[in-house]
Structure 1
Amino acid sequence: MLDTSRIPVFDGHNDTLLRLMEDATGEAERRFFDGGAGGHIDLALAAEGGLVGGLFAVFPPSHMDASLSDAMRVPPYALPFPETPSLADARETTLRMIAILLRLERTSGGRFAVCRTAGEIEAAIGRGSFAAVLHIEGAEAIDADLDMLDVLHAAGLRSVGPLWSRPNVFGDGVPMRFPSSPDTGPGLSEAGRRLVKRCNALRILVDCSHLNEKGFDDVAALSEAPLVATHCNAHAVTPHSRNLTDRQLGAIRETGGLVGLNFATAFLGDGGMDETIGLDPMLRHLDHLLRHLGEEGVALGSDFDGATIPSAVGSAAGLPRLLDAMMAAGYGRELVERIAWRNWLSVLRRTWGA
């Protein structure tokens, strides 16, 4: 059973595997267990903050000019798409990151578990293991014929974001723009439509994060599963291209789906990367998401290790400060527990069928 004296957190998105892959010290995996790894998540930080599990993204990186990300520090901006990795490059980095995830499980002494069902997540948390789910953000490693999807599913893949903010064989992502509507280009390709249907057949969650509006509408029309955006915010609060309009939120609610609050400051405040914005912008987005999605449709999708986040949270260790702010805002313990972990377990069980 879960420890009810403290509210645990199950998080919808992190980029920790990319951080570990790119660490040049050769000590990243050891330090993930021992602490001091220098990122937002390691097991010590997770234990301090009550983070008990989450979706671990595999993101094939783009060769991106640093000036592009620097441009997001001061809005307004309209960034061009970064370079899309080739199939060969994406497969190389994807397999490297999956190998890291599997090694973490194998060498953890039971402290870290890769989970493939909601029951496995609950069992891991109940015995004190960190529960990790394999997720892909940007499906460039998957061929248009979808053969690699079957291989990755067998390796434990249970969640796929077809696109990051760049085009690939499955469609166009949403570029980073502020202020901007998410209606920025064409939707899914024919291969993208096949991917959605095949994910449904395999009971793989389809993540609507990083889709433009037409791509979102394509998924909504095709998918038989709850619509989920693992790490997105409300466009009505912060008019960033990456955030969801009220119409999109309504479509997610109709399917019994879910949105995970993204901690990235660019999607919380005025479009910039100001770490000092505090917790109030996070509460404003949560309030708006709750109004449009209901209490069962809102969760957390931090983007830890992949974004500039408020210093008031800082890392996984700071999650209790956000939960305390939610309680102080009058949410009540039951609602905070739903947002912190229960809603994720519910939507994963309904999507995966177990």
Structure 2
Amino acid sequence: MPASFDERHPDPDDWARRLAIPREAIDLYLASDAIDLHVDSFIWNRIFRYDLARRHGRGLFGGRFYSQLDFPRIRDAHLTGATWVITTNPFRPGAGRPAAFFRNLERLRGLLSREDDFEVVRTAAEYRAARAAGRHGAFLGIQGGNALDQQLDDLDAIPDQLILRVTLVHLSTSSLGVTSSPAAGARRDEGLTPLGREYVKKLNANKIFLDLAHINRRGFFDALEVHDKSQPALVTHTGVSGVHPHWRNLDDEQLRAIADLGGTVGVMYQSSFLGKG
């Protein structure tokens, strides 16, 4: 029987020594919920057969496969939970995207379920139960709502209420709205499309979190305009423009809007979005 996730604690004294931080900081971390809101490793498994179950060494540019996580390093870091995302291929014809999404959903669920100390979870209660049993709680999400934009009823077809959140748009503009990336081009000042507005309402109705990472500023506020104010909204992976201006980062007004809804903003630990100060 493999050791449970909670039994794989590092030696706290050694960990503190190597990181040059107080032992108390390690104790606090190990006693806390450490949850990554956005793990994108599955896309590399799909494209390059990146083996999530194998420990990866340093590759090009000194990163581990461009900083993607694998299961052994999840254990090393003692991440008690994460949202594992299925990223939408924007070049796939729209009619084929739903079937591709549902195939990928089953594949990702299968990869996670094969690990004895990982458990796919859907709710806070399921996450807490997984943690109490010494397992990593794996939530599932979609990056790019255009995975299921052919008809809104496709969101009803998600099995077992498996999807925690949907990132409305990604790095390309879609039928739902405009990306914040330079790829927006001449459309950078356009807002959410009519379909995008209905999509937000459908996410609300299905109790799927709305994630506004990657969307342009006007689309961000258009989405919040139609969003059910009784539900929190998320921005799972971003930065703060007041600290470091970047097209992926949020300004103070956007941060306040999420806070006013009781939502959550996840800050990426990556120098491109944090700056070098």
- TM-score category, normalised to shorter length: 0.7 to 0.9
Q: Distance in 2 between matches of 1:93 and 1:268?
A: 34
Aligned residue in 2 for 1:199: 203
Higher relative contact order (CA 8 A, sep 6+): 1
**Structure 1 pair 262/194, CA: closer, same or farther in 2 (3 Å)?**
same
Aligned residue in 1 for 2:252: 246
| 2:162 counterpart (150, 156, 159) | 156
| Alpha-carbon contact 1:17-1:97 (below 8 Å) kept | no
Aligned-partner SS, 1:158:
strand
- What letter is aligned with 2:243? V
Q: Distance in 2 between matches of 1:24 and 1:50?
A: 24
Q: Distance in 1 between matches of 2:250 and 2:159?
A: 28
Aligned residue in 2 for 1:104: 111
1:59 aligned onto 2:87: yes
Aligned-partner SS, 1:113:
strand
Q: Distance in 1 between matches of 2:254 and 2:42?
A: 30
| 1:40-59 → structure 2 map (5 Å cutoff) | 40-59=68-87
1:189 aligned onto 2:193: yes
| 1:243-282 → structure 2 map (5 Å cutoff) | 243-269=249-275, 277=276, 281=277
Aligned residue in 1 for 2:3: none
| 2:139 counterpart (130, 133, 141) | 133
| Alpha-carbon contact 1:8-1:50 (below 8 Å) kept | no
The unaligned stretches of length 5 or more in structure 1 are: 63-83, 178-182, 270-276, 282-354
- What letter is aligned with 1:20? N
Q: Which deviations, in whole Å up to 9, do the C-alpha atoms of 1:44-70 show, x marking residues without a partner?
A: 1111111121111111235xxxxxxxx
| Alpha-carbon contact 1:85-1:140 (below 8 Å) kept | no
Quote the RMSD (CA, aligned, Å).
2.4
CA offset at residue 144 of structure 1?
4.0
| Alpha-carbon contact 1:17-1:101 (below 8 Å) kept | yes
Moved more, 133-142 or 92-101: 92-101
**Structure 1 pair 202/217, CA: closer, same or farther in 2 (3 Å)?**
same
Q: Which deviations, in whole Å up to 9, do the C-alpha atoms of 1:255-290 show, x marking residues without a partner?
A: 111100112332221xxxxxxx5xxx5xxxxxxxxx
Aligned residue in 1 for 2:22: none
| Alpha-carbon contact 2:176-2:192 (below 8 Å) kept | yes
**Structure 1 pair 92/264, CA: closer, same or farther in 2 (3 Å)?**
farther
1:11 aligned onto 2:36: yes
Q: Distance in 2 between matches of 1:165 and 1:23?
A: 20
CA offset at residue 112 of structure 1?
1.5
| Alpha-carbon contact 1:158-1:205 (below 8 Å) kept | yes
The unaligned stretches of length 5 or more in structure 2 are: 1-5, 10-25, 58-63
| 1:1-354 → structure 2 map (5 Å cutoff) | 5=27, 6=30, 7-24=32-49, 28=51, 32-36=52-56, 39=65, 40-62=68-90, 84-91=91-98, 93-109=100-116, 111-152=117-158, 154=160, 156-176=162-182, 184-224=188-228, 225-269=231-275, 277=276, 281=277
- What letter is aligned with 2:245? P
**Structure 1 pair 34/24, CA: closer, same or farther in 2 (3 Å)?**
closer
| Alpha-carbon contact 1:235-1:243 (below 8 Å) kept | yes
Aligned-partner SS, 1:141:
helix
Aligned-partner SS, 2:85:
strand
- What letter is aligned with 1:234? V
Aligned length: 238
Q: Distance in 1 between matches of 2:112 and 2:224?
A: 34
Tell me the TM-score normalized by structure 1: 0.62
Q: Distance in 1 between matches of 2:104 and 2:71?
A: 18
CA offset at residue 36 of structure 1?
3.3
- What letter is aligned with 1:211? I
Tell me the TM-score normalized by structure 2: 0.78
Q: Distance in 2 between matches of 1:237 and 1:153?
A: 40
| Alpha-carbon contact 1:144-1:191 (below 8 Å) kept | no
**Structure 1 pair 228/155, CA: closer, same or farther in 2 (3 Å)?**
closer
Aligned residue in 2 for 1:349: none
